[in-house]
Amino acid sequence: MKTIFISICLIFIITIALVKSNPTESDLQNFIKEEIIEESRKTNRIMGWVGKIIADPASWFVTLNVERENYFIFSIYTIPGMDCDRKLFGIATIIFPINSCNPAYSN
């Protein structure tokens, strides 16, 4: 009986922690900003410098069109694209890509 009570308490505490740390729009914007900087750095040194300059406004612009599905302990973000949508999974203020490009339609 004691172990059941402790288990229920632990589950409750973990759930509350996950709800409180569900990623926000700011967390998503930081994730996108870091991705822009990382991708531009891969190209060459000058593009890395340019990437740092444009990362803030670009990440803000991207988050304007993001669709968020909030499940309280985690969120799924959809970033619409021209020919494909990108999905991201966020939990405990950490965001992971689910797919790099999911075709929005098929020909």
Quote the pLDDT of residue 16. 93
Residue 101 has a pLDDT of 67
* d(C-alpha 36, C-alpha 79), whole Å: 14
pLDDT digits (tens, 9 = 90+) for 29-54: 889 888 888 877 777 766 666 777 77
Q: What is the mean pLDDT of the chain?
A: 83
Count of the separate structural domains present in the chain = 1
Structure tokens at 81: 């694209």
**CA angle, corner 12, sides to 1 and 7, nearest 5?**
30
Q: What range defines the domain where residue 94 resides? A: 2-103
- Residue 107 has a pLDDT of 43
* pLDDT per residue as tens digits for the range 6-29: 999 999 999 999 999 999 888 998
